[in-house]
Amino acid sequence: MTSVKETLRLFPDTTEKVTNTVFSTERVVQAPSIDLPNFLKPNTRLKMDGLKLLSHLPKESVPVAFLDPQYRGVLDKMNYGNEGKNREKHRCSLMQMPEELIGEFIRGIDGVLIPSGHLFLWMDKFHLCQGFKTWFDNTQLDIVDLIVWNKDRFGMGYRSRRVSEYCVVLQKHPRKAKGVWKIHNIRDVWLERTKTKDHPHQKPLGLQAELIAAVSNEGDYIIDPAAGSFSVMEAALLKNRNFIGCDLEG
Ligand SMILES: C[S@@+](CC[C@H](N)C(=O)[O-])C[C@H]1O[C@@H](n2cnc3c(N)ncnc32)[C@H](O)[C@@H]1O
């Protein structure tokens, strides 16, 4: 576990700027500048395996990661019988991620996040209820918040009908908000309808852009190793951040 003292040694100019208030509107944690291999072009749609991308990123180099796994469990649970035939064709054609693979992605992300960096992990109802804490075994990540995304679209469900998804907020040690999280009007129930449907799992641009603005500075690198429609890239560019991310499908 990285101590506060160690963080200050790695990022010395984070020191005096933290004030005595509970909240801060300033982010004083700095990310280092990073050298990327030539084949990892920032701000483009890279077509590659996300684990390979993570293995080429420098350790403790990025303040923000998003992960939106292609959950195997969802298709297993939503077995209406016609998935991949009359409905859900694109969703069924995407590479599914078993839980062990999701754990590998999370451990890779843990390695490249700076101390006090954030992982925004998109989660479905099944995993949220059944538990996912073991995915963070042997990492320095702790759950610090949860945001419900109200998609404003009527989805499937045998009982209640789904309109929401969940974004679990994790922070790498040392865990703190002051001097790190600088926007304080993000609601934990977020209403946003996605405008285009480029991808069956496209996530809300507005929410992701606000989260990026809250926990990074301009010019910082934001990563997404399973980027789908690259909505995180769009959000990062909107906030003048850099993006590195990929998808198996490009
Ligand atoms: C749920 S979607 C991501 C959607 C994205 N958040 C968005 O807003 O569009 C998950 C993506 O993971 C990709 N994927 C699955 N296994 C992968 C791997 N090993 N490396 C990279 N991408 C992978 C799938 O192709 C799929 O597009």
Q: pTM of the full predicted structure?
A: 0.87
Q: Where are the beta strands (DSSP E) in the chain?
A: 46-47, 62-67, 113-123, 141-150, 164-172, 189-191, 221-224, 242-247
The CA 232 to ligand 1 mean position distance, Å, reads 12
The number of beta carbons lying within 10 Å of the beta carbon of residue 64 is 26
CATH number at residue 43: 3.40.50.150
- C-beta of 229 in contact with ligand 1 (< 6 A): yes
**Tens of pLDDT along 103-147?**
999 999 999 999 999 999 999 888 999 999 899 999 999 999 999
Nearest residue (by CA) to ligand 1, atom 4, is 228
Q: Check if the beta carbon of residue 226 is closer than 8 Å to that of residue 209.
A: no
4 compared with 175, residue with greater pLDDT: 175
Please say if the pLDDT value at position 86 is more than 80. Answer: no
The CA 47 to ligand 1 mean position distance, Å, reads 11
Which atom from ligand 1 is nearest to the alpha carbon of 249?
Answer: 25
The pLDDT of residue 9 is 57
The pLDDT of residue 4 is 45
Among the listed ranges 20-29, 84-93, 143-152, which one has the minimum average pLDDT value?
Answer: 84-93
Distance CA 93, CA 88 (A): 9
Query: Domain limits at 8?
Result: 4-247
Please say if the pLDDT value at position 14 is more than 90. Answer: no
The CA 71 to ligand 1 mean position distance, Å, reads 10
Which atom from ligand 1 is nearest to the alpha carbon of 95?
Answer: 15
Q: Which are the contacts of 62, defined by CB distance < 8 A and separation ≥ 6?
A: 31, 34, 112, 113, 114, 117, 220, 221, 222, 223, 244
Please say if the pLDDT value at position 150 is more than 80. Answer: yes
* Pure H helices in the chain: 4-10, 50-56, 72-77, 89-93, 99-112, 125-130, 205-215, 231-238
Please say if the pLDDT value at position 13 is more than 60. Answer: no
Average pLDDT, the chain: 87
Which atom from ligand 1 is nearest to the alpha carbon of 66?
Answer: 6
Give how many domains the chain has, as a whole number. 1
23 — pLDDT class (breaks 50, 70, 90): confident
- C-beta of 74 in contact with ligand 1 (< 6 A): no
Nearest residue (by CA) to ligand 1, atom 3, is 228
Which atom from ligand 1 is nearest to the alpha carbon of 52?
Answer: 20
Both tokens assigned to 23: 């909240």
Please say if the pLDDT value at position 213 is more than 90. Answer: yes
74 compared with 237, residue with greater pLDDT: 237
- C-beta of 92 in contact with ligand 1 (< 6 A): no
The pLDDT of residue 24 is 78
